[in-house]
Amino acid sequence: MTEYDYWKIFPRMPRKVTIGDITVRDGFQHLEKFISTEAKKFYLEELIFAGCRNIEVTNLGNPYLMPQFRDAEELLTHLRSDRFKSKCQRRGINYDDIVLTAITIRESAVDRAIDLKQRGIGPDRILMMVSTEEEHHFANSGTTLPDYWAEAERSIKKCNDAGIMMCGTVSTIWGSPIGGATDMKDAVEFSKRWLEIGAHDIEHADHDGSASSPDVYRYFSMILDEMPNTDLHIAHFHETKRVASASILATLQAGITNFEATLGGLGGQPANFLDDCPVKGTGDYYYDDPRYVGLTCIEDLLVQVDEMGIEHGYDVDRMLWLGRALEKTTGQRLRSEATINGRTLKEGHMKYARPGLQKRKEKLGETPDQQWPSGWAPEANLPAQYRA
């Protein structure tokens, strides 16, 4: 007989997950509109109050390239303030449980993070990034893979001395928007290299929505066979074909416990236009239509795992409200379905019931819970040709 217990079929699948939010960094970097510093503070606070404990705050790279992040220090200062810590305390949140991450693609940004740390406002964790496909890596970083690995190794040593954790990202695992198909074995080796040079954890990224769920399951199974500590691994998916929820399910089935996503599915390549002015960003976009670019929607992800009975630590209804608020902030309809349709309620939506059912059953002489005509047997007699 078929095994119906999902956790017996996939024994690595977790009962509890950690979901980080990267809206204010990865989500906002893609917008061609500057999001006010006050709005950023609001969403950073509200995401934490709703249950987020791993949050990307900003990008510490050159604001000339990405002026969306010209307020980086102000945001970090706000989250390090006594006022914000008091807000957390009043809500029963242990401030020490919150991990603030900033992106630092190059060593100069790492040095900036260390300086901020010494000033008491720096991030707990920073992130550097490699792509297994070198053309994509060059487009992101402006240098070769060997040169960048040496830079990353120096940077991690600096971070260790400064008390900052380093996350190493591996991108183009399932394909590159520039170079095309890639080999997943390369990404496994890249992950090992990050740990070899001292990275604290690894973000495994599908940065252009190339992944298919069978390959996602194979890849993360390969990863956990080689590096079984699930605390080391974070899944990062982009949504370009409406199949990311299948990739999330495959990732869970493989045994991964850490994910990250954005409100409304915002995010993608840094904008090369902001408000009324062209900016450098990372050059020409890899896509033709920005409506179909972005990350996994955290609202939809939360509803997915919540309805699977997987513990996640968020107030889902508050997150759905935040998703609706962000649509007003950005001035556009975002990509979350859950913010519109809500959760599947076990108690149903009786406000949509049509009047008169019970009166009709009484008129027909049926009991309130009767499902079959009174002359039928209590169980179906399945015809022989349809039986197992």
| Domains recognised in the chain with CATH numbers | 13-341 (3.20.20.70), 356-386 (no CATH)
Query: What pLDDT shows up at residue 209?
Result: 87
- Identify the CA nearest to 126 among candidates 168, 158, 96: 168
Residues of the chain falling short of pLDDT 70 = none
pLDDT digit string, tens, across residues 261-293: 999 999 988 999 999 999 998 888 888 877 778
**Backbone dihedral region for residue 365 (phi beyond 0: left; psi -120 to 50: alpha; all else: beta):** left
In the block, residue with structure tokens 């169980």:
379
Query: What pLDDT shows up at residue 289?
Result: 79
Distance set, CA 160 to CA 154, 157, 186, 388 (Å) = 10, 5, 27, 62
d(CA 117, CA 104): 14
Burial class (CB in 10 A: 0-12, 13-18, 19+), 30: buried
In the block, residue with structure tokens 């934490």:
48
Distance of alpha carbon 47 from its chain centroid, rounded?
A: 13
Query: What pLDDT shows up at residue 215?
Result: 98
Distance of alpha carbon 54 from its chain centroid, rounded?
A: 11
